[in-house]
A and B are shown apart, each in its own frame.
Chain A
Amino acid sequence: MKRRTKADIQREKGEFRQRSTELECSEDGTSESGKLAAEVKIKEAQYRGVFEASKDTILIFDLDGVIKEVNPAACDMYGYSHGEMVGLTGRDIVHHDYHHLFKEFVAKAGAGELFAAESVDLRKDGSQFDIEVRGSGFEYMGRPHLLAIVRDITERKQMAKGLRRMATVVRDSNDAITIQDFEGRITDWNHGAELMYGYSEEEAFQSNIDRLTIPAKVAEQNAFIQRLAAGEDVTSFETQRVTKDGRVLDVWMTVTKLMDDAGKPIGLASTERDITERKRAEAARDAAYQQLLKAERDLSIRNKINEICLTISDEEMYGEILKVVLEQLKSKYGTFGCLEEDGSLVVPSMTRDVWDQCRVPQKDIIFPRDKWGNSIWCRAILEKKTLHSNEPSYVPEGHIPILRNISVPITYEGKAIGLFQVANKDADYDENDIQILETIAGFVAPVLNARLQRDRELRERERAEEALKASNQQLVASEQQLRAANQQLDAGNQQLRATEQQLRASNQQLEASNQQLRATERELRQSEQFIRAVLDNLPVGVAVNSVDPAVAFSYMNDSFPRIYRTTREALADRDAFWEAVYEDPVFRAEIRKRVLEDCASGDPGSMRWEDVPITREGQETSFIFARNIPVAGKDLAISMVWDVTERKRAEEELRRHRDNLEELVAERTVELEAFSYSVSHDLRTPLRAIDGFANILLEEHNDALEEEGKRLLGIIMKNVNSMGQLIDDLLSFSRLGRQEMKRMEIDVRALVREVIDNLMQSENNRNIEWKIDTLPSMIGDRSMIRQVYANLLSNAIKFTRKRDAARVEVSSREIDEAIVYFVRDNGAGFDMQYAEKLFGVFQRLHSEKEFEGTGVGLANVRRIVHRHGGRIWAEGKVGEGATFYFTIMHEEGTDEISR
């Protein structure tokens, strides 16, 4: 229903006032107004109709608070008839507590204002009820009145009260209540949740429900959220959640989906109750129950065993107890045994018919200690520990298969006294089974111990009795001895019989030694077979031969005829060897003569024939190496033969390669010589021409040349000169490789002095401090070694040029029995990074401008040192100088050709 605004009411009021005026006019009796009055009457009737029919309670008061008119709904609400109600005052129908409010209403109505409030009214019967009242002042019968529309709001009030109560319940519930959307965002969080999970409402708000979910339950959670989102109903289930401090709670969760006004699912509310304690209690109860069951079971077993022990004889006791065990453990097979004094296990109680099923050779019930293996029951006894396996065990052949078993030692006062073993239950043995068997073993232990103790005492008594019996017998024996003396008289007769027996004995001895002989023979034959097998598999041919010049083999292995490229059969004939092996008659005669002579010499050192060719027509020739080894003290020789074809081929190949290489090297050397020769002549000639004519130009046409022209000519001449130097150095380098070495003893000290003097002639302005120390003489090519020093020393002079106090040390030092000569300077030095480059041809570490040179000097030095079988290396540091070391081998060096 559309709410009337204040403006609407004002307007209506205006209309009403006008109509009233019209009505009044019509009462004046004018025809016009009469007509109007009729209209008003009609209108009024219409209003009244509405008034009467309205379901809302409508009351009209005058400004004194007296009811002037009510509609039927009002009568119903207040329980009065129309007649009773009109004339009552507001005080009659408004609860005392609200009279002030009614007064206010009346005042507002008088002022033409609207009002609305909640209040409590009274029925005719005095009962009170909640109402909501709205109203305003209005003109009625020409005077201002109060119109009130009342609504019973008891129900609503009660609902609101209920809701408030519910909200309180929710807020204060011990259960956690969370509201979340389908993305898992927590949108509401009650106090219970705060208490249960430890997150404050602020922390929880807008965070994800995943925070509470343990990893194992993520899938479950996602599943029910999906189901809810899809519109399904999920009710209650048990799950687990995790608290802020990491405790995992068992939780009973009730989930309700939440829907928007359109009925679309938008999220879920879940009530979670911590049932951890309950679960714990349940678990404890279950455990107690289990314990009770176990106690009951143990009691029943104990009763059974006690009964057996009390009522059944010793012999049957083992079997009867085992029966109980097998029944309790649902096993098909079992043993119950005790350990004897000597450590043997006696098993008087093997499951009936097990031995019948087994086909093991010895079906004893005694297992002597020294026959125990490493099977599970042995270990159980030895380690005094329960062992079990659900895997098949190893059993002797013929034994029924043991698929799974438990072995429990029976111990008493820390000593193993017996054993229970059960096997072949249909299912795997578990902890419970082990526990039962251990329990039984515990019950049985004292009983078994008592019985064993008793048996031992019995046996001891028996032994004592036997000892007594024995001493009695001794007495008897003495008497018998007397009697024996008498009998000796008869001995003479008996001796005859004895001799006969002796004969028989020696016969037997003979027989025995015969047998031994045969055994030895057998052994010999076996070892011979072994040796034969080894020999036949050797890649070496082995044969046993008489030293007789005629070749007759008493043995040969398989390789022997194979290497000789013939057959065993062909060599079977006496003296057939030569014919069979050597095809060519001339060579055959020759080799035969040689071999026989070598053998006849008797010197084993000469009985070796290397690289003898074996030819077969149409096939490749193979080569052998053969030896004869005479066997000392016998007319025998062992012939051995190796196939050396491969080796020979490889050697041949190697030799061919070497020849090729030498040839190649020689060729190259000749070429190189020709090349250097031609270079030395032909390369210098044009250079000389360039320099010469440049000179002439400079001398004879000096006037025609400008300064720049002269400078350029100077550059040409300078470069021609370096080119000339380069060619010279290159040639010297190439010559060094070819030059023949003339070795002699060199007085190194004198040589160094000579070189220095020579070098210093052209270094007038230099002041160098020379330190010439130990310099032992060496064997080498003097001119070459001179060149070594000339290079090293001129370098030292060159590179110390920029030093004010140049120092050069020439000396040697013994390192590892080798003499290392060295030249040390305090010059420009070099970066060790380039130490290797120093010795390369044309390798220079300084610019031409800094230090002149072609970069060949050190390459020459290295070449010379290498030709002397020595080594050269350098150490240095930029700005601090350099040291060059070299060694010389006194023997022939590697006379290398290239490099």
Chain B
Amino acid sequence: MKYPDEVEILLVEDKEEDVELTLRALRKNNLANRVHVVSDGQEAIDFIFGKGAYSGRDINHTPRVILLDLKLPRVSGLEVLQRIKSDERTKVIPVVMLTSSKEEQDIVESYRLGVNSYIVKPVSFNDFVKAVTDLGLYWMLLNKPAF
């Protein structure tokens, strides 16, 4: 596996179509170069904490932003968020929650767990592109690597 040490964006998304759309959205803004995609919560945790398939990955190379889908197989988005935000090593990574839902409880819970941003994926692709671009850029720029 080509090591994604220099991964800038970690996209956690289980639906292929959404992955493709998100990548296109990022690509439109030249942000798609160093995107790593994982398709469920467990894999995300493994990647972030260098476990399982990703054991050996240097976890100090944190992604500059994590785009995290709320509904994921195996381990849910909220659980992943909790794990990231409750670990000293990872809690500084900006996490943008991507979700189809406007459900208040999800939003409230996400913020409670320390999410940095929250994108309700619009049905309209153009809107979606706009939202991803805005937020992705914002966090990428804000969270410039220290080096």
Expressed in whole angstroms, the minimum distance between the Cβ of A445 and any Cβ of chain B is 112
Given contacts A685-B15, A688-B128, A692-B21, is CB(A680)–CB(B123) below 8 Å? no
B18 neighbours in A (Cβ, 8 Å): 685, 688-689
Does B101 lie at the interface of the complex (its beta carbon under 8 Å from any beta carbon of A)? yes
Q: Name A728's closest neighbour in chain B (CB-CB).
A: B102
Expressed in whole angstroms, the minimum distance between the Cβ of A159 and any Cβ of chain B is 127
Do A691 and B124 touch (CB < 8 A)?
A: yes
A687 neighbours in B (Cβ, 8 Å): 123
Expressed in whole angstroms, the minimum distance between the Cβ of A689 and any Cβ of chain B is 4
A603 neighbours in B (Cβ, 8 Å): none
Does B104 lie at the interface of the complex (its beta carbon under 8 Å from any beta carbon of A)? yes
Do B17 and A681 touch (CB < 8 A)?
A: no
Do B125 and A691 touch (CB < 8 A)?
A: yes
- Identify which of B21, B101, B122, B124 contacts A681 (C-beta below 8 A): B101
A735 neighbours in B (Cβ, 8 Å): 103-104
Do B123 and A691 touch (CB < 8 A)?
A: yes
Distance A685 CA – B24 CA, assembled complex (angstroms): 16
Distance A389 CA – B81 CA, assembled complex (angstroms): 113
Do A724 and B104 touch (CB < 8 A)?
A: no
Distance A283 CA – B71 CA, assembled complex (angstroms): 120
Does B36 lie at the interface of the complex (its beta carbon under 8 Å from any beta carbon of A)? no
Does B100 lie at the interface of the complex (its beta carbon under 8 Å from any beta carbon of A)? yes
Expressed in whole angstroms, the minimum distance between the Cβ of B125 and any Cβ of chain A is 4
Query: What are 5 of the A-B contact pairs (CB < 8 Å)?
Result: A685-B15, A691-B125, A692-B17, A692-B125, A721-B123
B70 neighbours in A (Cβ, 8 Å): 681
A residues 662-682 with Cβ under 8 Å of B?
A: 676-677, 680-682
Interface 1/0s, chain B 84-128, versus A by CB < 8 A?
A: 000000000000000111111000000000000000011111101
Does A206 lie at the interface of the complex (its beta carbon under 8 Å from any beta carbon of B)? no
- Identify which of A680, A693, A696 contacts B101 (C-beta below 8 A): A680
Given contacts A688-B18, A696-B24, is CB(A680)–CB(B103) below 8 Å? yes
Expressed in whole angstroms, the minimum distance between the Cβ of A696 and any Cβ of chain B is 7
Q: Name B99's closest neighbour in chain A (CB-CB).
A: A681
Range, interface on chain A: 20 to 34
Distance A723 CA – B24 CA, assembled complex (angstroms): 23
Given contacts A692-B17, A692-B21, is CB(A684)–CB(B123) below 8 Å? yes
Q: Name A677's closest neighbour in chain B (CB-CB).
A: B103
Q: Name A684's closest neighbour in chain B (CB-CB).
A: B100
Q: Add 4 more A-B contacts to A680-B101, A689-B21, A735-B103 (CB < 8 A).
A: A680-B102, A681-B70, A692-B21, A694-B125
B122 neighbours in A (Cβ, 8 Å): 688, 724
Distance A688 CA – B126 CA, assembled complex (angstroms): 10
Q: How many A-B residue pairs have CB under 8 A?
A: 64
State how many residues of chain B have any CB contact under 8 Å with chain A.
21
Does A26 lie at the interface of the complex (its beta carbon under 8 Å from any beta carbon of B)? no
A644 neighbours in B (Cβ, 8 Å): none
A717 neighbours in B (Cβ, 8 Å): 124
- Identify which of B17, B71, B124 contacts A689 (C-beta below 8 A): B17
Distance A717 CA – B124 CA, assembled complex (angstroms): 8
Expressed in whole angstroms, the minimum distance between the Cβ of A813 and any Cβ of chain B is 35
Expressed in whole angstroms, the minimum distance between the Cβ of B100 and any Cβ of chain A is 4
**Which are the 6 A-B pairs with shortest beta-carbon distances?**
A724-B123, A689-B17, A692-B125, A695-B125, A692-B21, A684-B100
The A contact surface, by secondary structure, is: helix
Expressed in whole angstroms, the minimum distance between the Cβ of A682 and any Cβ of chain B is 7
Do A685 and B21 touch (CB < 8 A)?
A: no
A540 neighbours in B (Cβ, 8 Å): none
Expressed in whole angstroms, the minimum distance between the Cβ of A416 and any Cβ of chain B is 104
Q: Name B25's closest neighbour in chain A (CB-CB).
A: A692
Q: Name A739's closest neighbour in chain B (CB-CB).
A: B104
Interface 1/0s, chain B 67-81, versus A by CB < 8 A?
A: 000110000000000
Distance A424 CA – B19 CA, assembled complex (angstroms): 122
B17 neighbours in A (Cβ, 8 Å): 685, 688-689, 692-693
Q: Name A686's closest neighbour in chain B (CB-CB).
A: B17
Distance A735 CA – B21 CA, assembled complex (angstroms): 29
B100 neighbours in A (Cβ, 8 Å): 680-682, 684-685, 688
Q: Name A698's closest neighbour in chain B (CB-CB).
A: B125
Do A684 and B121 touch (CB < 8 A)?
A: yes
Expressed in whole angstroms, the minimum distance between the Cβ of B92 and any Cβ of chain A is 29
Which of B15, B24, B99, B123 has the most C-beta atoms of chain A within 10 angstroms of its own C-beta? B123
Expressed in whole angstroms, the minimum distance between the Cβ of A736 and any Cβ of chain B is 12
Which of B15, B21, B24, B125 has the most C-beta atoms of chain A within 10 angstroms of its own C-beta? B125
Distance A724 CA – B70 CA, assembled complex (angstroms): 19
Expressed in whole angstroms, the minimum distance between the Cβ of A471 and any Cβ of chain B is 124
- Identify which of B71, B102, B104, B128 contacts A692 (C-beta below 8 A): B128
A692 neighbours in B (Cβ, 8 Å): 17, 20-21, 24, 125, 128
Q: Name A731's closest neighbour in chain B (CB-CB).
A: B102
Distance A843 CA – B32 CA, assembled complex (angstroms): 45
Does A317 lie at the interface of the complex (its beta carbon under 8 Å from any beta carbon of B)? no
B126 neighbours in A (Cβ, 8 Å): 695
A693 neighbours in B (Cβ, 8 Å): 17, 21
Does A720 lie at the interface of the complex (its beta carbon under 8 Å from any beta carbon of B)? yes
Which of A684, A689, A691, A692 has the most C-beta atoms of chain B within 10 angstroms of its own C-beta? A692
Do B103 and A688 touch (CB < 8 A)?
A: no
Distance A728 CA – B124 CA, assembled complex (angstroms): 13
Distance A681 CA – B72 CA, assembled complex (angstroms): 11
Expressed in whole angstroms, the minimum distance between the Cβ of B9 and any Cβ of chain A is 18
B24 neighbours in A (Cβ, 8 Å): 692, 696
B20 neighbours in A (Cβ, 8 Å): 692
- Identify which of B21, B99, B101, B124 contacts A724 (C-beta below 8 A): B124
B71 neighbours in A (Cβ, 8 Å): 681
Do B103 and A720 touch (CB < 8 A)?
A: no
Distance A735 CA – B104 CA, assembled complex (angstroms): 9
Distance A735 CA – B102 CA, assembled complex (angstroms): 10
B124 neighbours in A (Cβ, 8 Å): 691, 717, 720-721, 724
Distance A692 CA – B123 CA, assembled complex (angstroms): 8
Distance A681 CA – B15 CA, assembled complex (angstroms): 12
Distance A680 CA – B121 CA, assembled complex (angstroms): 11
B21 neighbours in A (Cβ, 8 Å): 688-689, 692-693
Given contacts A688-B128, A692-B128, A693-B17, is CB(A720)–CB(B123) below 8 Å? yes
Expressed in whole angstroms, the minimum distance between the Cβ of B73 and any Cβ of chain A is 13
Expressed in whole angstroms, the minimum distance between the Cβ of B56 and any Cβ of chain A is 34
Distance A290 CA – B117 CA, assembled complex (angstroms): 129
Interface 1/0s, chain A 705-726, versus B by CB < 8 A?
A: 0000000000001001101100
Which of A681, A717, A724, A739 has the most C-beta atoms of chain B within 10 angstroms of its own C-beta? A681
Expressed in whole angstroms, the minimum distance between the Cβ of B10 and any Cβ of chain A is 20
